[in-house]
Amino acid sequence: MTQDTSRERPRPDLGEASSALVRVYATEAEASRSGARSFADRALEAVAERGRFTVALSGGDTPRLMYEMLATPELARSIPWDRVHVFWGDDRGVAPDHPRSNFRMAREALLDHVDIPAANVHRIQGELPATEAARLYESELRSVFGGGPALPRFDLIHLGIGGDGHTASLFPGEPSLHESSRWVLDAIDRSHHDEPRVTFTFPVINAARAVEVLVLEPAKADVVHRVLSERGEVDVLPARGIAPTGEHVWLLSTGAARRLASAGQR
Ligand code: 6PG
């Protein structure tokens, strides 16, 4: 049994609705394990209360270990995968078997190892032009969450952040940061050869019952500090737009938290 070495650190400066709890773990593995355990706990709670668990996964490299831990029998066997609906907060404009596909990474690390029905895996069709993929993905959201005007309310949305403060595929200076009605937009990662992207917008992210942000790399300590501790515009630091009315938790390794005042474990 791994002792939870985290310490919680409320963030009142962003106001009640968006104050984040910051949990700092001694190692990247412990932070990842906490994310995996939280996924399992939230899945059981959601299925018990609402009959299903809706979750949006993050991409990039950071969550791979967390997904691999979630796929271990210790955690996976406790989850009713036939009641779980998996989406992605964003993906790259690539084919599903491309090395940069967030869908491929999650499939390899997690989905191929659990009994989740194919119909419950709702990937972004990155092989299509991004505007069409965004339209189709929003339609799929509506088919699962109901086609009404109410925003989809995910039980859990997992996010990461980039060194420039982006989250999902919401990048600095982009109009998508201020989208207030569309649920899904096409985007461009100008820092990576203008790679096409498809992304949730902040209304969807912030409607979630819980948002968890996992940051492991020590190289991100400065951006973590700027997002969590300084005032600043979402245009400069998009991750400052994460302000869910539900739970808002940051899972950090010691390295990623080293610039936060009074960071540390119990
Ligand atoms: C993506 C992600 C993105 C990611 C950050 C961090 O498609 O890249 O959704 O928002 O979370 O870029 O990526 P790393 O974990 O690879 O640093």
Nearest protein Cα to ligand 1, atom 8: 60
Q: How far apart are CA 164 and CA 91, in angstroms?
A: 18
Tokens 């984040």 sit at which residue? 20
Q: How far apart are CA 158 and CA 43, in angstroms?
A: 13
| Ligand 1 pocket, residue 176 CB under 6 Å | no
Q: How far is the CA of 198 from the centre of ligand 1 (A)?
A: 13
Q: How far is the CA of 160 from the centre of ligand 1 (A)?
A: 6
Please list, in sequence order, all residues whose beta carbon lies within 8 angstroms of the beta carbon of residue 120, skipping any fewer than 6 positions away: 81, 82, 84, 85, 86
Q: Which domains does the chain have, with CATH numbers?
A: 62-262 (3.40.50.1360)
Which atom from ligand 1 is nearest to the alpha carbon of 168?
10
Residue from 57, 62, 100, 101 to probe ligand 1 pocket by mutation (most atoms less than 8 Å from CB): 62
| Ligand 1 pocket, residue 165 CB under 6 Å | no
From start to end of 26-180, where are the E strands?
53-57, 84-88, 90-92, 156-159
| Ligand 1 pocket, residue 59 CB under 6 Å | yes
- According to the model, what pLDDT value does residue 231 have? 82
- According to the model, what pLDDT value does residue 15 have? 37
CA 190 to chain centre: 21
pTM: 0.93
- According to the model, what pLDDT value does residue 19 have? 78
Q: What is the pLDDT along the chain (266 residues), one digit of tens a residue?
A: 333 445 555 443 333 334 799 999 999 999 999 999 999 999 999 999 999 999 999 999 999 999 999 999 999 999 999 999 999 999 999 999 999 999 999 999 999 999 999 999 999 999 999 999 999 999 999 999 988 889 999 999 999 999 999 999 999 999 999 999 999 999 999 999 999 999 999 999 999 999 999 999 999 999 999 999 888 899 999 999 999 999 999 999 999 999 997 544 43
